[in-house]
C-alpha cells in the first residue's frame, strides 16, 4: 500500500466499537449504561 492510500484510509470508529462489544459479549444498551449519563 502506498503512502497516499494510507492517508486516505478512514478509521470507522462505530464498526470498531461494535466489534469490541461483540468480542466482550456486551449489548449496546448495557455498554451505554456502564458508560454513564455523560456518554449518552
Task: Enumerate the domain spans of the chain.
Answer: 12-39
Give the model's pLDDT for residue 9.
82
The answer to whether 32 and 40 are in contact (CB under 8 A) is: yes
The confidence band for 26, taking pLDDT boundaries of 50, 70 and 90, is very high
Give the model's pLDDT for residue 33.
92
For 9-20, write each residue's pLDDT tens digit.
888 999 999 999
For 2, the 3-state DSSP assignment is: coil
**pLDDT tops 70 at residue 1:** no
- Give this prediction's pTM: 0.57
Amino acid at each position: 500500500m502506498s503512502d497516499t492510500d494510507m492517508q486516505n484510509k478512514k478509521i470507522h470508529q462505530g464498526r470498531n466499537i461494535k466489534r469490541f462489544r461483540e468480542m466482550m459479549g456486551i449489548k449496546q444498551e448495557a455498554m451505554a449504561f456502564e458508560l454513564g449519563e455523560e456518554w449518552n
